[in-house]
Structure 1
Amino acid sequence: MAAAPPPAPRTALPPPNRGGLAFAQGRYGLRGNLELLLCDEEDGLWVLWFNNDPEDTAPEAGGPPPGAWSGALRFGTGRRYDEVQVVQSAHGPHHLEVLARSGAHTHRLRWNPETAFTTEEPPPTGRVRAASLTENPDATLWTAVLADDGSPRLFRADTGAYPRLTWEQTPLPPLRPGAVLLLPLPHAARPGLALLGASGGSYLAPGGDETPLPAGLVAAAVVRETVPRLYVWNEAAERIDVVDIGAPAPYRSLRAPGEGPVTALAATTLDHAPHRTDLVLRRGGRLWHVSDQGGEEPARSVPLLSRLTRTAGDEERPVHRTS
């Protein structure tokens, strides 16, 4: 007798979301699941994870199968956020560090396996327009912001008493961009800094060298080995410009799935796939999961959808839940 087919999975679109996205490869799973953070339309943040295990791996009961997204968990309630950043930190060890902006104020949250998400003292940024967070390969945490007057400011954390952090401001030249991104670089005194603007931007290397960047305020950044890579939404050309700083062929482009303007973009490298970069973008109000293979191979794009294995008695359980 043939075995009965497995029950159909439980599926759902992500919760309604707005503002920025945060995306990183984490430490959990056989080869590092992907962590995605969203700003809720009204209150708090959401976190989802992508099961990055090999295809023939059995999923945990009620969780997403390999190659699928989990349901979302809401946290950080009590305020409406505009922007969010996440890094998988070496500290804790392996806690998630979250920097979120609500209006002109930054907020720090931390995930750990004992108490889940907790609120921590934020960096002393003052009032800001934009904020970015990264951790260099030497485990140094950095925050960059655009102050109310539009000037960039860079802060380095002393992690000696982690999870309590002490921040020190690092001088920057007087530049006036419209958005800011940090890029973690190996063997460098500080991260690279991408300064973005509607009419063009620049990449500021740790040594002070500047490289021009295409125009755009919606962007994401990764580092491939030692090469900084920027993904910048080009609204006029309806494409994503890809810039590999210092590479022999530094410029190419990706076609963005969906229709309308891209309103948020985030990216991460993958440890098990050395040439692949995964992106999540919002376009036309919908989230897409994009895999950039590099070179001439076209990117693969699928709508982002939570897909959970069905277990007995879970019919009434929501796909998305509040902690």
Structure 2
Amino acid sequence: MSKNKHMLANSSALVGADRPTAGPVSLAQGVYGARGNLELLACDADDGLWVFWFNADLDSDPLETPDVPPGSWSAGLHFAAGHRYVDALIVQSTLGPDHLEVLALDADGVLQSWYWSPGPGFQRRETDAATHVVRFAAVHAVGVLRLTVEGAEGDAHHLVSTAAGYPERSWAPTATGAPLADEASARALIEAAGAASVGIAPGTARTAASTRDGGTTELTWRDDAGRIRHLGVPTRA
């Protein structure tokens, strides 16, 4: 059985177990490799961010990354040193082409806007997305980012950033944004997959969709020891 097939069983994989990360993580499907890799973003416990990537290729595909063979997670890349973050989100962009978008909420409530491109890597934009933020969510479509931000009083508002001026971004109020994370539903899926025996730390259960194996729900959470867990559950009939 290949590691990728194993990742679709009820045994979850550890991600970055030797890295000092904290809080919920964000996962998105990328466009790299023969079948589209996975990108996972986590906050460092004290300083900066960590990004990990999963090789979703099969053993039968051409081996492009011997250091991260099919069915394996990378050791992680640290960036954004100089700030402590409490939450962060990563999405695959259609711009660049094939850039990555990152929104990272620092401990002062500033929602920073970053992007990744080949060569320079991760770069912070001059304009932040929002301030006085406690919680946020974002969706991306055809270069447009739609954002929902929630303040300390529970007040939520929506922002949009179009592709105009890319790679820089500006933000404007809009009527609709993105749904905030539904932890209860994610927790229920982890439990239904039979993967909850390792524990699910409060506030960390998340879901994402990918095209792996014809359609997969990608589940992420932290176990009782605070380690990042990942499990792919097939969504096809």
Length-normalised TM-score, structure 1:
0.62
Is 2:102 aligned against 1:98?
yes
CA contact (8 A) 1:110 1:119 kept: yes
Is 2:58 aligned against 1:117?
no
Partner in structure 2 of residue 194 of structure 1:
179
CA contact (8 A) 1:107 1:121 kept: no
If each structure's strand is expressed as a fraction of its own residues, which one has the higher value? 1
Partner in structure 2 of residue 281 of structure 1:
221
Q: CA deviation at 1:166?
A: 2.0
Q: Distance in 2 between matches of 1:46 and 1:130?
A: 19
CA contact (8 A) 2:186 2:207 kept: no
CA contact (8 A) 1:58 1:65 kept: no
Q: Could you tell me which of 204, 219, 233 is aligned with 1:292?
A: 233
CA contact (8 A) 1:39 1:84 kept: yes
Instruction: Classify the secondary structure of the residue corresponding to 2:204.
Output: strand
Q: Which amino acid aligns with 1:265?
A: A
CA contact (8 A) 2:214 2:236 kept: no
Closer, same or farther in 2 for the Cα pair 1:150/1:122, shift >3 Å?
farther
Q: Which amino acid aligns with 1:291?
A: G
Q: CA deviation at 1:25?
A: 0.6
Is 2:78 aligned against 1:79?
no
Q: Could you tell me which of 128, 135, 159 is aligned with 2:133?
A: 128
Is 2:224 aligned against 1:259?
no
Partner in structure 2 of residue 69 of structure 1:
73
Q: Which amino acid aligns with 2:71?
A: G
Where do 5+ consecutive residues of structure 2 fail to align?
Answer: 1-14
Instruction: Classify the secondary structure of the residue corresponding to 2:42.
Output: strand
Larger radius of gyration: 1
Q: CA deviation at 1:293?
A: 1.9
Q: Distance in 2 between matches of 1:85 and 1:118?
A: 15
Where do 5+ consecutive residues of structure 1 fail to align?
Answer: 1-10, 172-189, 197-216, 220-230, 234-239, 243-251, 297-323
Give the total of aligned pairs. Answer: 220
Partner in structure 2 of residue 15 of structure 1:
19
Closer, same or farther in 2 for the Cα pair 1:260/1:279, shift >3 Å?
closer
Closer, same or farther in 2 for the Cα pair 1:146/1:282, shift >3 Å?
same
Partner in structure 1 of residue 186 of structure 2:
232
What value does the CA root-mean-square deviation take over the aligned residues?
2.6
Closer, same or farther in 2 for the Cα pair 1:295/1:51, shift >3 Å?
closer
Q: Distance in 2 between matches of 1:263 and 1:87?
A: 20
Q: Which amino acid aligns with 1:288?
A: R
Q: Distance in 1 between matches of 2:16 and 2:195?
A: 22
CA contact (8 A) 2:31 2:37 kept: yes
Partner in structure 2 of residue 218 of structure 1:
183
Q: Distance in 1 between matches of 2:16 and 2:144?
A: 37
Partner in structure 2 of residue 51 of structure 1:
55
Closer, same or farther in 2 for the Cα pair 1:278/1:124, shift >3 Å?
closer
Q: Distance in 2 between matches of 1:12 and 1:261?
A: 16
Length-normalised TM-score, structure 2:
0.82
Q: CA deviation at 1:279?
A: 1.6
